Amino acid sequence: MIKFFSTIILISFSTVLFALSGQIDTVRIAEQTALKKLSTDYDSLLHSWYVSRSVSYFDTTETVDIDTQSTVGYLPSDSVIMSNMATMPVFFDMTYNKIVRAYFKVYLQDKRELTETVLGLSEYYFPHFEEVLDSYNLPMELKYLPIIESALNPRAVSRVGATGLWQFMYATGRFLNMEITSFVDERRDVTASTYAAAQYLESLYAIFDDWTLALAAYNCGPGNVNKAIRRSGGKTNFWDIYYYLPRETRGYVPGFIAVIYIFNHQQELNLRARKIEMPLITDTVNVTAKLHLGQVAEVMQIPLKKLQDLNPQYRRNIIPGGKAYPLRLPNMLATEFISLEDSIYAYKDSVFFNTKALTQTPNTQRYYGDAPSGNYERMTYTVKPGDNLGFISEWYNVRISDLRHWNGIRGNVIRSGQKLVVYVPKSRSANYSDINQLSFTEKQKRIGKTVAVTTKTHNKNYPEDAEYEYYTLKKGDTLWEIAKKFDDITDRDILQMNNLSSGRYLKPGQRIKVKLLN
Identify the active-site residue in 149, 202, 336, 442. Answer: 149
C-alpha to C-alpha distance for 515 and 502, rounded to whole angstroms: 17
Q: Which residues pair with 326 in a beta bridge?
A: 286
Distance of alpha carbon 300 from alpha carbon 200, whole angstroms: 38
Torsion of CA 118, 120, 122, 128, to 10 degrees: -140
Q: Each residue of 203-212: b (16+ CB within 10 Å) or e?
A: bbbebbebbb
Rounded to 5 degrees, what angle do the CA atoms 280, 282, 284 make?
A: 160
C-beta atoms surrounding 169 within 10 Å: 18
Q: Which amino acid makes up residue 434?
A: D
SS3 assignment, position 401: helix
Task: Name the nearest CA neighbour of 103 among 62, 64, 152, 144.
Answer: 144
Burial class for 463, CB neighbours closer than 10 Å (0-12, 13-18, 19+): exposed
Cα 23 to Cα 30, 97, 322: the distances in Å are 11, 11, 57
In sequence order, what DSSP letters do the residues of 259-318 get, joined into one string?
HHHHHHSTTTTT---------SSEEEEEE-S-EEHHHHHHHHT--HHHHHHH-TTBTTSE
d(CA 286, CA 282): 13
By CB neighbour count within 10 A (0-12 exposed, 13-18 middle, 19+ buried), where does 217 fall?
A: buried
Instruction: Give catalytic status of residue 341 as yes or no.
Output: no
**Helix extents (H) in 301-399:** 304-310, 334-346, 349-352, 355-359, 389-396
DSSP label at 168? B
- As a whole number of angstroms, the distance between CA 28 and CA 102 comes to 8
For residue 366, count CB atoms less than 10 angstroms from its CB and return exposed for 0-12, middle for 13-18, buried for 19 or more.
Answer: exposed
Q: Name residues whose C-beta falls within 8 Å of residue 398's C-beta, 6 or more positions apart in sequence.
A: 422, 423, 424
Q: Which 3 state secondary structure label does DSSP give 472? A: strand
Contact 196, 170 (CB under 8 A): no
* C-alpha pair distances (Å), 64 with each of 31, 111, 263, 274: 31, 21, 21, 13
- The C-alpha atoms of residue 217 and residue 315 are separated, in whole angstroms, by 29
Write out the catalytic residue numbers.
149
